[in-house]
Amino acid sequence: MRFLWPVWARPHRLRQYQRRLVAFTAVIVPLLVYLLPYDSRVKIALQYHLTGPLLRPALAIEPFMSEAAPFPADLSEDVAYILKTGYATQDRVAGCLQTLEDASVFRDLFLVADFAALARDDGSRFVRNGGLPLAVHDVVARTLARAPPALVRTSPRAAMHAKLSLAIEEGDGDAARALAKEVGYPLDAMKFISSLELAYRTAPDKKWYVLVDDDTYLVRPTLQQLLGQFDPAKPYYLGNAIGGWNYRFAHGGSAVVLSRGALQRLFTENPRAAAGAYAASLIHGWGDLLLAEALARVGVYVEEGWRSLFNGETPATTKIRPDRFCAPVVSFHEVKTEEAMRGVHGVFSNIAAPSRWIDVWALLGAPAWEAFEEEPLRRDWDHVGRTDEYTVTVEGVESALGCLGLCLRQKLKGDDACLAWTWVGEGGVCHLSPWIVVGERNAGRITGLNVQRVRSLAGACGA
């Protein structure tokens, strides 16, 4: 009656069943994942957690910084630059255009907004390159023209845009500005897809399409070297990847970079996916996430391995973290005034080689490491910057030297070492951070660095 024995009583049969189960799982599970839609949350999560770490390119810093790129890109000939603004923020455009006055750089420039070309209060056009007029494309209107009419008729955003357009047409600048501040953010979500399609349809021969906000600054040598790492005929989606485990997207303010291959797949090969994105933009909260969702439907995902090159902060507030000291930096964000944009351009425009995150420290005139060894307390300054969940705040610290001592011996979240500290005299509050920032003058604060650790990290970059 051996056939009645349970499997567990026959070890050789049990091992046989186990091997078959493993073989079955190894074949069927990948097949089922492969058959899932590109934008399945399960597929995206598995790709990020399992496949992603295996396939992400290792960022080789030295070759990136010094060797010739395998796919050379000329910023003038090969790149379409899309500058996204709005009626409420159009005053920033002049500063952006001043950084682009060289006609040999970003020659194909698309200025996109929620209003049309002659919307400035003084009736003049935006100009660049020796006084040449620059058209302003109302890409919100283009989105409304592409979205399903039945949805447009009942869309609150369509009504917002119509009200803004009427105020502009009637020449009521005050009313238009007030309204633009109220509706500018929801209308911004309607600009991403239409802006990229406008650039792609107008300049289909470009290798790359770079979408930036009107407060974003690009470090040109780094951008050029980055683009040269990829074959633009293939679908690439680059940027500062953020979001949760189940959906990752390139942060719009840090710059979004797409290859011709990516836009060809979205707009030419899969027009239904683009059409769905136009409809979704009537209600979607974030345009950069909407773009990622549209690209995911056609199998294009943000490249996680290169996200550390993109930056969502100003030069002075840039959090220089240990894993980014030696990494090149492509972008800065929240450069909101014409004066600030000119200042950033003045620092980076004359640099011929790619810049690294740690280079920001010296380029902005922060003290040399030796200065902190001689005098560890820097008064009326702050090298921690904006605190968040990765910083540690200790109250009741009686002196700046006490705060320094905490930084030298205390581990932060994830067992990270403290790199910078700031002591607030009023209240005896001590802030500790796993990064350094150049920072700004801040009366009443005393700040400093974990100099030995910072110097070691910077030394690995030759800085």
Q: Which pLDDT tens digits describe the chain residue by residue (463 residues)?
A: 444 445 545 565 656 666 666 665 655 656 555 555 555 666 566 666 555 444 444 455 666 667 788 999 999 999 999 999 999 999 899 888 888 765 457 788 999 999 976 544 444 456 555 556 778 899 999 999 999 999 999 999 999 999 999 998 888 888 999 999 999 999 999 999 999 999 999 999 999 999 999 999 999 999 999 999 999 999 999 999 998 777 889 999 999 999 999 999 999 999 999 999 999 999 999 999 999 999 999 999 998 888 899 999 999 999 999 989 999 999 999 999 999 999 999 999 888 889 999 999 999 999 999 999 999 999 999 999 999 999 999 999 999 999 999 999 988 876 689 999 999 988 899 999 999 999 999 999 999 999 999 999 999 887 6
Which of 309, 327, 355 is the last residue before a domain boundary?
309
- Using CA atoms, how far residue 416 sits from 382, 391, 411, 420, in Å, is 20, 10, 6, 12
Cβ atoms of residues 49 and 245 within 8 Å: yes
Cβ atoms of residues 421 and 403 within 8 Å: yes
In a domain, 330, yes or no: no
CA distance 25 to 3: 27
Cβ atoms of residues 176 and 186 within 8 Å: no
253 and 167, same domain (yes or no)? yes
Beta-strand pair 208-213/79-84:
parallel
Range of the structural domain that residue 381 is part of: 367-463
**Residue 37 DSSP symbol:** -
Residue 209 sits in a domain of what CATH number?
Answer: 3.90.550
269 and 379, same domain (yes or no)? no
Question: Which residues on adjacent β-strands are paired with residue 419?
Answer: none
Give one word for 89, left, alpha or beta, with left for phi > 0 and alpha for psi -120 to 50: alpha
214 and 108, same domain (yes or no)? yes
Which of 262, 279, 309 is the last residue before a domain boundary?
309
Total number of domains constituting the chain: 3
Beta-strand pair 429-433/108-113:
unpaired
Beta-strand pair 378-381/441-449:
antiparallel
109 and 173, same domain (yes or no)? yes
Cβ atoms of residues 459 and 412 within 8 Å: no
The rounded Cα 62 to chain-centroid distance in angstroms is: 23
202 and 239, same domain (yes or no)? yes
Q: Where do we find the tokens 């810049």?
A: 355
184 and 290, same domain (yes or no)? yes
CA distance 71 to 229: 6
373 and 248, same domain (yes or no)? no
In a domain, 74, yes or no: no
In a domain, 410, yes or no: yes
CA distance 277 to 399: 55
In a domain, 328, yes or no: no
Question: Which residues on adjacent β-strands are paired with residue 343?
Answer: none
123 and 51, same domain (yes or no)? no
Which of 281, 309, 337 is the last residue before a domain boundary?
309
48 and 184, same domain (yes or no)? no
Three-state DSSP at 390 gives coil
Q: Rounded to the nearest 5 degrees, what angle is found at the Cα of 216, between the Cα atoms of 213 and 218?
A: 125
Whole-prediction pTM value? Answer: 0.87
177 and 34, same domain (yes or no)? no
CA distance 23 to 27: 6
Number of H helices, E strands in the chain: 19, 17
